[in-house]
Amino acid sequence: MLLLHLTSLGRVEVPGRQRDERGDVPGWVMVTVMSAAVVAALLPFIQDELRDMLGAAFDMVRG
């Protein structure tokens, strides 16, 4: 009973305001799609440099 009471203390409801549990899903989908589009558009130009940087990073980790 005490645990239930303690967990409910952090939840304060504001009267007249509905809580949307979904968050901003359409916004996050748009950000994800746009990020993927930017990466896809830049990849032909920066592919060799990215491969070299990744190889250098792996070489540093391996020692």
Sorted by where each begins, the domain ranges of the chain are 26-63
What is the distance between the alpha carbons of residues 40 and 30, in angstroms, rounded to a whole number?
15
The first and second tokens of residue 42, run together, are: 């830049």
Asked whether residue 52 carries a pLDDT value surpassing 70, the answer given is: yes
| Better-scored residue on pLDDT, 1 or 55 | 55
Q: Residues 6 or more apart from 50 whose CB is under 8 A from it?
A: 43
Q: Write out pLDDT tens, residues 12-34.
A: 566 666 766 667 788 899 999 99
pTM: 0.48
| Lookup result for tokens 């391996």 | 62
Phi, psi values for residue 27, rounded to 5°: -65, -45
